[in-house]
Amino acid sequence: MGDYMKQLSLRILEIDLSENIIEVIELPHKWVREYIGGRGLGTRLLWERTKQGANPLTPEAEMYILTGPLTGVIPGGAHICLTFKSPLTGNTIGFSVTGAQWGPELKYAGYDGIILKGKSPKPVYLMIKDDVVELRDAGHLWGTTTWQTQQLIKEELKDSQFKVLAIGPAGENLVSFASIGQEQFRAAARCGSGTVWGSKGLKAVAVRGTNPVSTFDLPGVIKARGELEKLMLSNRTNHPRGYELVRYGNSISLTAHNDEGRLVNKNYREGYFEGISEVGGLKYDLRYFAKSRSCSGCPLGCMKLGIVRDGIFAGNVVCPDFDSTANIGPGCNISDLGSMVYLSRWADEQGLDATSLGNITGFAMECYEKGILSLEDLDGIKLEWGNTTAILELWRKIVKREGIGDILAKGVKCASQAIGKGSEKLAMHCKGVEFPGFVPQGGHKKGLQYAISDRGPCHHYGSTIDEQNQRVWADSLTVCSWQRRLVDPQIYMDLLQTTMGWDIELSEWDITAERMLLLARAYNIREGIIPEKDDVLPERVHTEPLTTGKKAGSVYPLEKFKADRLRWYKERGCDETGVPKIEHLEEFGLDFTIPVIKKFTQ
């Protein structure tokens, strides 16, 4: 057993940006076996290596960019997870996941992840080509968009096969919800990942690999991989969700969730958008769709490239999905398809999380509607619902940190505190992270997961214990979260046995997931989160009924929310205040957290 464990030890690049020191390190086998990779392993590194109380935007704060054991091995095994302390909250774990081709390319270069620490004295980008790893000057790239940066680096390196992660002007200017983009329209968007890079002076990471991925049992991997691919091909037509993704992509979800009365509209005042027929996935497919794209090796092709064919944005290539359009479109009452999908593209180019951006724009629109923000406060911008021109003017100010844009660039929680005048009640967030595209009044399960999620409101956290376990596994294996709905977990266990040589059984699935999720909760508590006080929803969710659509009249009553939260606490082995019980931590091998957590137990 020891021989193959040594053979398959993870190779991690540790990059000290302050000192321009690059080293290859190995991680303890025990950590890899217990936390798998990606999100789980990133959480373990965050606990161990990032100092308690560290400011997320100082040199001592680190970021962990990790693949998983199946990255570059299976169809759709293309994701990476970036884990860091969130600049949006200041006291929680932040993580962001992105797919496409970058993760497999890093594995082909011979590395399983990257640790970023320190701060460069000047703008740089990291170049990785197999064994050649260098920090290069990025002064000439500073100020360029994510798309421009990717193209310029490929031209500079004279190799179009480089895969590039890059921040845009938003990250450079430390907008709190800046993202990291790749390959046009793919991004590690949530929690301020791009803000962390901007604070470190890191513009991009370009990687090119030419090596095979090492596996323990190659014939076994080929067999298990073939079974998975056969299943996924079958699910293109035999599974309802598989067919939706193949045919329309996930922007079709806008219409479905609107029909159910839980799609954001007008800053979460409503869960039904009357203009959905003009901006939904069916209209996009009819008017703009051009071709499908996939993450590495995936047969589904859920990314739907298109071209705007009418209006003032005609001619622009676009690629919308649910997360990039829900808050921007229905959330801001935009009923013009070309405008909505172009705004999504603009956010990607500038390096902005479209979810947070749409949320804070809806907040500002409601503040203007109610007289909390005046025309003078907005520097003359008539920020009316659905006004695309006004939205773009506001966004340019956010990216440049000018006037009202400087306030909004801090995120909706901090912005509402700065504006005051009762605007705090209009700020739709948990723990400082903006709500995504679902209205909790119309979907209580979504509201509960917003409150309990470790990184802040996230509809990808999971609405049941089983779904939460599935999703943390997907993010740790670094496979697509849609794929995990189409695949029996036993297939992943078989692949881990053949890829890593692990003696692993399906019985470990829930145990490992529980360990990873408990550690993230323990980390947040260590950094200052008080679950009973911070696992909460805005007042609007409990007191302002929806007035339109299928869920008209609905709220999420406060007492029901508290009962649902308490039930979840108990199911996850926490006490009534949301703090993990000591015996539960011991049961899952989290003894190293106990000295900290003991201070918070009843």
pLDDT at 233 over 70: yes
- Rounded Cα distance between 138 and 198, Å, is 12
pLDDT level of residue 487 (50, 70, 90 thresholds): confident
Supply the pLDDT for residue 8.
Answer: 56
Supply the pLDDT for residue 484.
Answer: 82
Supply the pLDDT for residue 472.
Answer: 97
List the domains of the chain with CATH numbers. 2-208 (3.60.9.10), 250-434 (1.10.569.10)
- Reference 79, options 400, 477, 383; nearest CA is 477
- Rounded Cα distance between 300 and 233, Å, is 8
Which structure tokens are listed for 533? 């006080």
Supply the pLDDT for residue 339.
Answer: 98
If you write DSSP's letter for every residue of 277-343 in order, what string do you get?
A: HHHSHHHHHHHTEEEEE-STT-SS--EEEEE--SSTTTT-EE---HHHHTTTTGGGT---HHHHHHH
Supply the pLDDT for residue 302.
Answer: 92
Supply the pLDDT for residue 482.
Answer: 84
Supply the pLDDT for residue 260.
Answer: 96
Are the C-beta atoms of residues 79 and 102 closer than 8 Å to each other?
Answer: no
C-alpha count within 13 angstroms, C-beta hemisphere, residue 532: 10
pLDDT in tens, 307-332: 999 999 999 999 999 999 999 999 99
pLDDT in tens, 169-203: 999 999 999 999 998 999 999 999 999 999 999 99
Supply the pLDDT for residue 4.
Answer: 38
pLDDT at 1 over 60: no
pLDDT at 348 over 50: yes
pLDDT level of residue 602 (50, 70, 90 thresholds): low
- Rounded Cα distance between 35 and 113, Å, is 14
C-alpha count within 13 angstroms, C-beta hemisphere, residue 538: 28
Compute how many other C-beta atoms are within 10 angstroms of the C-beta atom of residue 374: 9
Which structure tokens are listed for 522? 């323990």
pLDDT at 483 over 90: no
If you write DSSP's letter for every residue of 364-417 in order, what string do you get?
A: HHHHHHTTSS-TTTTTT----TT-HHHHHHHHHHHHHT-THHHHHTT-HHHHHH
pLDDT at 538 over 50: yes
Q: Is the dihedral of CA 119, 121, 127, 130 positive or negative?
A: negative
pLDDT level of residue 579 (50, 70, 90 thresholds): very high
User: Residue range 85-107: average pLDDT?
Assistant: 97
